[in-house]
Amino acid sequence: MTPSRYQRQIVLPGIGDQGQARLAAARVVIVGVGALGCASTEMLTRAGAGLAAAGGCLALLDRDVVELTNLQRQCLYTEADARAGLPKVEAAAARLAAINSEVAIRPLAADLTSANALRLLGCDQATGAKPSLIIDGTDNFATRFLLNDIAVKFQIPFCYAGVVAGAGTQATFIPGQTGCLRCLLPTPPDPSSLATCDTAGVLAPAVQIVAGAQVADAIKILTGNEARLSHSVLSFDLWTNRRTRIAIPRPDPACPCCGQRVFDFLNAPADDELARLCGQNSVQVAGHSALDLALLAQRLEPWGGVARSGVMLRFDPADLPTTRFTIFADGRAIVRGTTDPARARSLYARYIGA
């Protein structure tokens, strides 16, 4: 480790050489390397988290490839990455290696499910293996609730964040000290009621603010400065000039996850979540909750052709002329135009949001 490289950080109160060494040895998993994941991972890389020489690592987990529309806010990617359609974790790893060659970057091009989550995150109850911290760079609540289950079960700090349009939300959950995500949201919100970045847009400065708050908490934890955490949920909207903080409650004994230790999302079967449709250029994606098709149709209309019957909604995205969604009220969707399950799930999350 080059001593002068991190000097401006080492001199901060509470960090010093010892805190920097702890940061170097950290093993952090960043789930989702989109807008938030790019910004958070770059800051951690520049801060010297996960150095190979110290046994640390930054694991990047994402199922998607780089597209031109990503470049407005996803700061690790270039036009060349988009032209090549590179997996995001591959493009991100190359850029991060150029920023700080001392950091051990572990790219994981995979679709996170309940079936593979423990393996991908490096959690093993028998050996006690687990990451130092989980960074949320995801775009849907089903995955966040899965990560929340893992964080509580294995006692891993969970740095949650989200950005849509100009609005951002950030919170850090410490198992045993604070409540968990399910204490605040007992069940995932109805996806048909939620905007996504592709349907509502996203303001890049909002991404950077949320990621900055997320990584500041991560550095506090990893350097042994947990006492400096605010234990609150930050919510703001740069476009409407709104900002609030609310306290994260103590663990709730009635919470199914951190109170009763029932891990519904981790224990959910994953085998039938995605299925290629035989003889068709299509993949069926199983949703995680019922949809209000009328509300969803209203949200999707500005982004392509929408036709609705009593039991299903057909959506043809204007920017993807070879893609068609057939969406059912139970949350299922047939994504036509691909045979790649990871791609189908990514498109489902983009437009439907679950």
Tokens of residue 257, six digits: 């996850």
Of the residues 57, 159, 183, 197, which is catalytic? 197
Q: Which residues pair with 62 in a beta bridge?
A: 109
**Calpha distance 215→135 (Å, rounded):** 8
Say what angle helices 35-47 and 88-99 make with each other, to 10 degrees: 30
Q: Is 255 one of the catalytic residues?
A: no
- Are β-strands 105-109 and 133-136 bridged in parallel, bridged antiparallel, or unpaired? unpaired
* C-beta separation of 63 from 283 below 8 A: no
Handedness of CA 110, 114, 119, 120 (dihedral sign): positive
**Calpha distance 272→177 (Å, rounded):** 36
Annotated active-site positions, please?
A: 197
